[in-house]
Amino acid sequence: MTTPAPSPTAPSPTAAADARIPAAHPFAAHLRRAAALEAADPHRAWTPQDGPLPSLYLSHGGGPLPFQSPEWLTPLHDWARSLPKPKAILVVSAHWESAPLSVSADRPDELVYDFGGFDALYYTFRYDTPDAGDLSRQVTGLMPDTEHVHRHGRRGLDHGAWVPLKIMYPAADIPVLQLSLPTEDPDRLLAIGARLRPLRDQGVLVIGSGHMTHGLPFLTREMFQGNVVPGWSSDFDAWAADALARGDVAELARFRTAAPGMPYAHPTVEHFTPLFVTLGAATDPAAPVVTRLDGYGVGLSRRSFEAA
């Protein structure tokens, strides 16, 4: 007996999971808004006439918390729609520190739910994107012979990749590949970003995903309950904003010793260092960036930007 082929009208696993989200949940409202916008004004696909896409640095929020907050949902989705729809997306996330340099599976079966203590609903979310094998081969081919790239057969996207992308591109119809963060060295990350720069000319969106401040050990009740912003968070954010506006990459690279608020703003540095991949992938890493999301969530800076 042969197994019947699935119905061509059957919902995708992502759509089926989305349909089970309670209607009153903020993310369900976000999905309805996104669908209405797409029906009224379909997102225009990138063409070579658009020129290179920018590279982005995203502050991705705490675990699945952005799914609950219009302060994340609407700005991230509007940002995505302000750009031509990418042909593919490459993400370097703070949550995958791995050397040698590695790429995720071309089309993994599961996401990485690398957060704990949240509503069980979020562990049922899916983001099943198209095969990213072509992008994986391109990324591998762009690296120098001295930079071996390991291609994983099973690893899926972690929450630093799939949470913001599910908000920005909820249809899950764009191939997504994740590249590991192999070092904390800004110069090496800038060089990796520079290797990725040609992808932007082909309609690939290159994203560094972290958080502009990430002092999790120093969160207080007041920060959780009232979004009180401590001085170490606001001081670091102001310093970074000024350096980015001036295109002072060397100052940014000295963040461990030059930035006020350290080490509280980044007791570990993996949520800041993806910024250097973003800048390295820019046409001119020293050009001023455009901030697309700012403000604070539980006292942590959400500053996110695009670089041309």
pLDDT of the residue at 147:
84
What is the model's pTM?
Answer: 0.95
Look at residue 3 in the predicted model and tell me its pLDDT. Answer: 47
Q: Is residue 4 over pLDDT 90? A: no
Which helix (H) or strand (E) segment holds residue 209: the answer is strand 204-210
Render pLDDT for 44-62 as a digit per residue (tens, 0 to 9): 999 999 999 999 999 999 9
Scanning the structure block, which residue is given the tokens 């909820």?
Answer: 170
pLDDT bin (cut points 50, 70, 90) of residue 194 is: very high
What is the C-alpha to C-alpha distance for residues 198 and 281, in angstroms, rounded to an integer?
8
Does residue 196 or residue 7 have the better pLDDT?
196
- Please report the pLDDT score of residue 109 as a whole number: 85
Query: What is the pLDDT at residue 250?
Result: 98
| CB proximity list for 148: less than 8 A, separation 6 or greater | 100, 101
The Cα-based distances of 19 to 12, 30, 51, 84, 155 in angstroms read 10, 12, 36, 27, 25
pLDDT at residue 6 in the model? 47
CA 132 vs CA 139, 148, 305: distances in Å: 11, 19, 25
The pLDDT of residue 1 is: 43
Query: If you average pLDDT over residues 209-227, what whole number do you get?
Result: 96
Instruction: Report, as an integer, the average pLDDT of 49-77.
Output: 97
Per-residue pLDDT of 271-293, as tens digits, reads 999 999 999 999 999 999 999 99
251: number of Cβ within 10 Å:
16
Arithmetic mean of pLDDT, 161-187: 98
